[in-house]
Chain A
Amino acid sequence: MAALQAVKVNRWVYIVLVMLTLLAASLQEISWIATLLNKDSMAAALILIAGIKILFVTEYFMELHEAPLWLRGGMHSWLAILLAVLISAILNHGLG
């Protein structure tokens, strides 16, 4: 039944979230990535990973994947705008 299928889905989402968390926490330890990205790109990447994790939480835990467009769109827009502002601030060393 749909409710208990959700239990399985949530477990997979959780595993993805944990993997992303561990990836983010150890991103700077991975030497070849550290040489590839400079400090600012690294920071931007970390914020982006946080954004992806937030997307997963809203889509699956908050059950927005079955929500009407205004709600889902609103949440995605908020996330996109927040990430855009934060990442541009990081890459441009501050806003304007």
Chain B
Amino acid sequence: MIFSDVVRENRAEKRVPVEPEFWLLIFGDLFVFSAMFIAFIVARFESEATTQVFIAGSLSLNQAIGLSNTLILLTSSLFVAQGLAYFRANQFRLANRSLLCGIGCGLSFVGLKLFEYIEKYDQGLTVTTSDFFGYYFTFTGVHLLHVVIGISLLGFIVFKIKKQQEQALPSQGLFEGVACYWHMVDLLWLMLFSLFYLLN
């Protein structure tokens, strides 16, 4: 089976993606977001009343956009992973194409999110409307900031590959680092989606 072939081939050499110190950043970010997730759940179950507020808030979110955003981000993660694989195989044109598709997905995410924010604002729901929306706007806002940073980093990689061609390509470590960061952004959204949109 394809999985076990890849695994068996690589089991000989265990490698740390990027470098060991990089994972300080990833685990650090995961730690902060974990604190946020736990704070959200604790607030949700503080009392029967707050649970109702959270359920109502969750139901008023645009489920279609939420689901679309999740699928879009998963697709972008796929493209970035493919881009890295092509880069390793020295197929730079395909790598750039994949990365650009990933960036495109990322931009769609940003666009849909902003549309959603504006939609909520038009409905009179803002960050101070209720506890739920306080959490919603701030948590997804922080995540959105991460997405924008991720898109910039991916764009930087694309630029480096395109512009420099053979000389001074981005190192594999840098590419892996940016890719891991993007996967982390995707991973965080998977949890955010479940917490905000699906728990009702």
Contacts and interface: CB of A to CB of B under 8 A. Distances in A.
Given A2-B9, A66-B15, A50 B190 contact: yes
Interface in A49-96: 49-50, 53-54, 57-58, 60-68, 71, 74, 78, 82, 85-86, 89-90, 93-95
B38 A85 contact: yes
B142 interface: no
A57 B16 contact: no
Contacts of B80: 61
Contact of B10 (A4, A24, A66): A66
A15 to B, nearest CB: 10
A35 to B, nearest CB: 17
Given A6-B6, A9-B6, A46-B194, A89 B81 contact: no
Contacts of B41: 85-86, 89-90
B77 A9 contact: no
Given A57-B183, A61-B81, A86 B14 contact: no
Q: Lowest 7 CB-CB distances: which A-B pairs, in order?
A: A94-B45, A50-B194, A3-B88, A3-B89, A66-B10, A14-B78, A6-B85
13 contacts: A14-B77, A14-B78, A25-B67, A49-B194, A54-B191, A61-B179, A66-B13, A68-B14, A71-B23, A82-B37, A89-B42, A93-B51, A94-B45
Interface of A: 1-12, 14, 17-18, 21, 24-25, 27, 43, 46-47, 49-50, 53-54, 57-58, 60-68, 71, 74, 78, 82, 85-86, 89-90, 93-95
Given A5-B9, A57-B77, A68-B16, 15 more contacts: A5-B5, A5-B6, A9-B3, A12-B3, A25-B67, A25-B70, A25-B198, A43-B199, A47-B195, A53-B190, A54-B187, A67-B17, A86-B41, A89-B42, A94-B46
